[in-house]
Structure 1
């Protein structure tokens, strides 16, 4: 049994006639008829009821046809995969994405990637703080997207593209704020636990110390921002989260921003896409980089 015979079977079933199947496949009618006869000889039974104007599958023919569709689909997928690798396209590409990044901003790029290179496996690797930069410098990720300091990126010799800004705000549940007794200074908050997302990388450079954490501060550590958000809403601590993650909770009053008279806790961070300065570029990574360039303001 050959794939060509199965393609003929599919064409005849879908068109209902040998003539139209021959036109679709750009073959002669005798060639189509011969392929069907060969297939019927191999199965040992008739696949079509030829008594009517339009060819109709026999019960056995229906089972053979349905199985042939699965075989043809797998064969076509395999052919596409082989062509994908023949063209030098990456089998897998890893993108490190900082947990504070607004994924809505990346969706158009990811959609373009998926539609252009459907055979490439994409790994979105979540990172916190210095984790994204370490993923790129170690070669674990081809590209990273993260709020970052341009000075740190240049110190690491990385190539980067600014994509926009992310606003981070210190927030707490209203119940915790009341328990704090309306603090006026950061030092007034030391005895209330600050919830901190642990660095997923080997902290260095600007990350050698915990930014925004004062000495003597009671603290809890979590591994991701969703857990941190849950604890803050529950009133188990206060801490900083990106604005896009908490806009709804702030609007509904489940969280409130910590605004101290003498301390500005909120800040804007520039979000960058970055990669090694001399990367080994495949066509998938190159597409990603060009799409990020198009997003740059």
Structure 2
């Protein structure tokens, strides 16, 4: 295999087309320079440079080899810098799992922070529910998850990124919108309700039944995605309990109403990562997010 010294020698001769000038450029004498070229040609298996007493010229193969040789030298010079940048978390790849709901709440802010603080870090985004994110973190398939509680703190470290209120979304012009007060559980007794799936959207299902006296006989649809839920409300199919950030979906034909006897931070979204995670880019991002918790 050829060496970088041989490549440097070849590039110098190819650019100078003069062994004496190339030797001076490399701070060496001509005999070792000639030996470097000979060893390179032997390794490559073709003549790269034609030389006689009057001139030095590249062969056709030499001209083709020169382009790749220059790229090799650039890569060799960049490699240590890239390694240092990756070690400092300034470059590399960060694989992020996110729920659909986090896509319209904190994901945009997170990506903006990455672009500003770590512009040379490539981001690999994967839409996954919390359960899938947990599996991917355990298997080393992602570096960071944007997930809902509960969190296994023996396996994962976490940071609260968003806390927000649970709201009621109703069709535009619905009688509940005319109450001029927060909606109470008693107001929902005879109202068709679009509810979360207890298996595919367990976090929001548990949250809803824990905070509002749900009349299960009123449930007309069971879905797992918030966008689907709000779209059904817009179609007049019922009302639904959604996080306040769902307003950012911009679905027309709906009104968001506050709920009575509710705190403003019942819905949580956390950044989670496996304990012992060593990706420097992850730790740079976490440092950039220090103290950043959003409330909606």
TM-score, structure 1 normalization:
0.56
Match of 1:282 in 2: 278
Q: Could you tell me which of 273, 289, 292 is aligned with 2:289? A: 292
Kindly indicate whether the alpha-carbon contact (under 8 Å) linking 1:170 and 1:266 is maintained by their aligned counterparts in 2: no
Q: Kindly name which structure, 1 or 2, has the bigger radius of gyration based on alpha carbons.
A: 2
Match of 1:273 in 2: 271
CA shift, 1:105, in A, is: 2.0
Equivalent-residue separation in structure 2 for 1:66 and 1:239 (angstroms): 63
Match of 1:215 in 2: 216
Match of 2:159 in 1: 161
Deviations 1:41-100 (A, max 9, x none): 5443345799999x875543332234446666887899899999999xxx9876543432
Q: Cα 1:139–1:293, aligned 2, differ >3 Å: closer, same or farther? A: farther
Match of 1:196 in 2: 196
Matches within 5 A, 1:27-176: 27-28=27-28, 30=30, 31-40=32-41, 42-47=44-49, 58-68=59-69, 95-101=96-102, 102-108=106-112, 110-111=114-115, 112=117, 115=120, 124=126, 126-128=128-130, 131=131, 143-146=144-147, 160-166=158-164, 169-171=167-169, 176=171
Task: Classify the secondary structure of the residue corresponding to 1:273.
Answer: strand
Kindly indicate whether the alpha-carbon contact (under 8 Å) linking 1:198 and 1:221 is maintained by their aligned counterparts in 2: no
Task: Classify the secondary structure of the residue corresponding to 1:295.
Answer: coil
CA shift, 1:103, in A, is: 0.8
Equivalent-residue separation in structure 2 for 1:9 and 1:234 (angstroms): 72
Match of 2:183 in 1: none
Equivalent-residue separation in structure 2 for 1:207 and 1:71 (angstroms): 57
Equivalent-residue separation in structure 1 for 2:228 and 2:155 (angstroms): 33
Q: CA RMSD in A?
A: 5.7
TM-score, structure 2 normalization:
0.56
Kindly indicate whether the alpha-carbon contact (under 8 Å) linking 1:49 and 1:58 is maintained by their aligned counterparts in 2: no
Kindly indicate whether the alpha-carbon contact (under 8 Å) linking 1:50 and 1:56 is maintained by their aligned counterparts in 2: no
Matched length: 271
Structure 2's unaligned 5+ residue stretches are 180-186
Structure 1's unaligned 5+ residue stretches are none
